A and B are shown apart, each in its own frame.
Chain A
Amino acid sequence: MKKQLVTLALGAALGLSASAAFADTLADVQAKGYLQCGVSPSTPGFAAPDANNNWAGLDVDFCRAMAAAIFDDPQAVRFTPLTSKERFTALSSGEIDVLSRTTTWTMSRDTNLGIDFAGVTFYDGQGFMVRKDLGVSSATELSGAAICIEAGTTTELNAADYFSSTGMEYNAVVFEDQDEVVKAYDDGRCDVFTTDSSALAAERLSLANPDENMILPEIISKEPLGPSVRQGDDLWFNITRWVYFALLESEELGITQANVDDMLGSDNPGVRRVLGVEGDFGTAIGLSNDWAYKVIKHVGNYNDIYERHVGANTPVGIERAGSVNDLWTRGGLMYAPPIR
């Protein structure tokens, strides 16, 4: 009896550890029935638990879009909140299938870490937030300031570069996670809080008195944020990348979550190809032909996602029209190769 129970306990412990071979991520994901997605623990607008403790945000919705394409179910995804320190190990060890965590695409990460970036879901740049009563109006006046930074990010390096190139001095106050950084800034430990400007806008709202703080106009870096996958699994990389492109392509063609069912009857060959009415594109990436239809039906196109989480009508409130994040047809940088 005792021995049996021990065996049972061992089995239970092993049950917690799942094995996933690298070669065929899609097969593994399909076998276990859900997608494991690494997200930021708390970045409002990108990934954060909402009032009902459900994950919500732009990064989260990208994973839901992938789950929709694979399973026809946006809920077939589990989220692993990761600190910036853990994220790459989590991806390369196979703990997660896709990393969608406000991660900046840089050359060293693309080449040294054994990961591939599938695209840019948000063009960001690093900015500064200060208290209004300091009377600062430009980042060039920040010499001698104490700056709160999150450890292990490109932000930390950019700040060092910016201050040394402008010949200014600063005092770095570095914390492990974003929450602590914001808390320390709010408690007055630092004069300046620096991170990606989208996150600045979101975090400002979590301060005790948002109106007493302002974001400085300078953007000191390029931060193209996007999802990444392990190197060496081309099929999985293609799925990730084309789910991303489908979000943009459908927006360009005017397919939205609201009208996607009507669009099935469209005469536009482009629309018909995206929605799988025409052509054989889904099977080429190991999915069904209506993969993009499922994505748009369940999650929406890029604009739907953007406006839902970071757009002007959300608490984060980043206006899209005219920004780099707009479609190329409207002067932005969002551009997808055609699906054909």
Chain B
Amino acid sequence: MTDTSFAYVRDEMLDEQPAPATSTGVIGWMKANLFSDIPNTIMTIVGVVFLYWFIPPIFNFLVTHAVFPWSVENTIDACRTEEAGACWIYVVDRFNFFIYGFYPAEEYWRVNICFLLGAVTLVPLLWPDLPYKGLSAIGFFVVLPVATFFLLNGGGFTGLAEVPTEKWGGLTITLIIATVGIVASLPIGIVLALGRRSHMPFVKYVCIAFIELWRAVPLITVLFMASIMLPLFLPEGTSIDKLLRALVGVSLFSAAYMAEVVRGGLQALPKGQYEAADALGLNYFKSMYLIILPQALKHSIPGIVNNFISLFKDTSLVSIVGLFDLLNTVQATTAQVEWKSPHQATTGYLFAAAMFWIFCFGMSRYSMYMERRLDTGHKE
């Protein structure tokens, strides 16, 4: 290194300059994302006009012109005026019916305990950082269904007043059907998926036939079959509870879809895993339980959750066979005379939509979170 210096060589660094105003901050962002070229600009304008058209009326309907219990005018007459928006007081008044259906009011606490029990067992199961997974799994998959049944139904040794299933309804029954469907369809689906990949031809084709048959027909025909044909299939005089029939239909239907998702997970496993399990001398059940299924199920988590979401939405179909689920309770009140008003039906549907949306959206976000968390980075 020589210590010569040239006048034209700068020997100190220039200070960093901020980026030009047109490429940073709000303006830069807008330029990049909204007005990058002419088509983009046109789309932005279309989008803004669209928002301007739709957002204010929707907001007015939901909030500004809506009738809340704390509004100055909070009687049904306020809902019947010309410019009234959503009639929230109707939803508030019928809220208990939407949640509990015909369940006797003095027994609501039993339903509430079941909700609480469900939350208490489900949260540790879903939260990956919490310990006692096995315990909470037993809680959710075994204790909860049994406890729920005896608590809600009462009678017998429980010493509680008996409440037949005809009286169950609202969100309660929606959650019961969804939970039972989820709990029952996953194991059946796994068995079917394993059967479909079996080397025994007869087992394989039976499973294929079962899966494809259920997947080919709409759920509503399955529910009709469960409600009309099932009594014919069983020995004379056997009568099965309406709710149980719907549960069987929903679970089998959902199991067929679950099987296909699990099969996808099984197929995604490299062959080496099967061979490694065989090489270790594990028998079929051990190799499935210890090696194959844990990996395959991990691969299928997004699909499984998607199935849960469809199952949750599909529970609304039981209203067609006469069960009073959340949607049916709302639908039943949209024609009630005492709440007759122009936007009664719309308000009721909005409430039901919001309830369903919260559950389904929550599940889909949870699935994305788990996907990120379980991603071990082994991607081909």
A residues whose Cβ falls under 8 Å from a Cβ of B:
2, 5-6, 8-9, 12-13, 15-22, 41, 49, 53, 78-83, 85-86, 89-90, 92-95, 176, 179, 182-183, 186, 205-208
Is there contact, CB below 8 Å, between B322 and A86? Answer: yes
Which of A21, A78, A93 has the largest number of chain B CB atoms within 10 A?
A: A93
Which residues of A have CB within 8 Å of B240?
16-17, 95
Which residues of B from 95 to 122 have beta carbons under 8 Å from A? 102, 104
Which residues of A have CB within 8 Å of B164?
78
Which of A2, A9, A49, A207 has the largest number of chain B CB atoms within 10 A?
A: A9
Is there contact, CB below 8 Å, between B138 and A95? Answer: no
Number of interface residues of B (CB under 8 A): 34
**Sample of 14 A–B contacts (CB below 8 Å):** A12-B145, A12-B150, A17-B239, A18-B239, A20-B239, A21-B236, A89-B228, A89-B231, A93-B231, A95-B239, A95-B240, A182-B335, A208-B337, A208-B340
Is there contact, CB below 8 Å, between B238 and A183? Answer: no
Contact with A along B219-256 (1 / 0, CB 8 A): 00000000110011000111111111000000000000
Taking a contact as CB atoms closer than 8 A, the residue among B142, B150, B241 that contacts A2 in the complex is: B142
B residues whose Cβ falls under 8 Å from a Cβ of A:
102, 104, 138, 142-143, 145-146, 149-150, 153, 164-166, 227-228, 231-232, 236-244, 320-322, 332, 334-335, 337, 340
Tell me the complex Cα distance, A106–B232, Å: 23
Is there contact, CB below 8 Å, between A49 and B166? Answer: no
* Distance from A232 Cβ to chain B, minimum over Cβ atoms (Å): 11
Is there contact, CB below 8 Å, between A81 and B332? Answer: no
* Distance from B83 Cβ to chain A, minimum over Cβ atoms (Å): 19
Residue of B nearest to A207 (CB): B337
Is there contact, CB below 8 Å, between A94 and B239? Answer: yes
* Distance from A268 Cβ to chain B, minimum over Cβ atoms (Å): 42
Is there contact, CB below 8 Å, between B166 and A81? Answer: yes
Grouping DSSP codes into helix (H, G, I), strand (E, B) and loop, the B interface class, with mixed when no group exceeds half, is helix
Which residues of B have CB within 8 Å of A95?
231, 239-240, 242
Tell me the complex Cα distance, A179–B336, Å: 10
* Distance from A53 Cβ to chain B, minimum over Cβ atoms (Å): 5
* Distance from B82 Cβ to chain A, minimum over Cβ atoms (Å): 15
Is there contact, CB below 8 Å, between A19 and B228? Answer: no
Tell me the complex Cα distance, A78–B239, Å: 15
A9-B149, A86-B322, A182-B335 known; 19 new pairs, CB 8 Å cut-off, are A2-B138, A2-B142, A5-B146, A12-B150, A13-B244, A16-B240, A16-B243, A17-B239, A20-B237, A21-B237, A53-B102, A53-B104, A78-B164, A79-B166, A80-B166, A89-B231, A186-B335, A205-B337, A206-B335
Is there contact, CB below 8 Å, between A183 and B334? Answer: yes
Asked, given contacts A16-B241, A93-B239, whether A9 binds B145 with beta carbons under 8 Å apart, the answer is yes
Tell me the complex Cα distance, A22–B153, Å: 26
Which of A5, A82, A176, A205 has the largest number of chain B CB atoms within 10 A?
A: A5
Which residues of A have CB within 8 Å of B243?
16
Is there contact, CB below 8 Å, between B231 and A19? Answer: no
* Distance from B84 Cβ to chain A, minimum over Cβ atoms (Å): 15
Is there contact, CB below 8 Å, between A5 and B335? Answer: no
* Distance from B155 Cβ to chain A, minimum over Cβ atoms (Å): 9
Tell me the complex Cα distance, A93–B321, Å: 16
Is there contact, CB below 8 Å, between A86 and B335? Answer: no
Is there contact, CB below 8 Å, between B165 and A16? Answer: yes
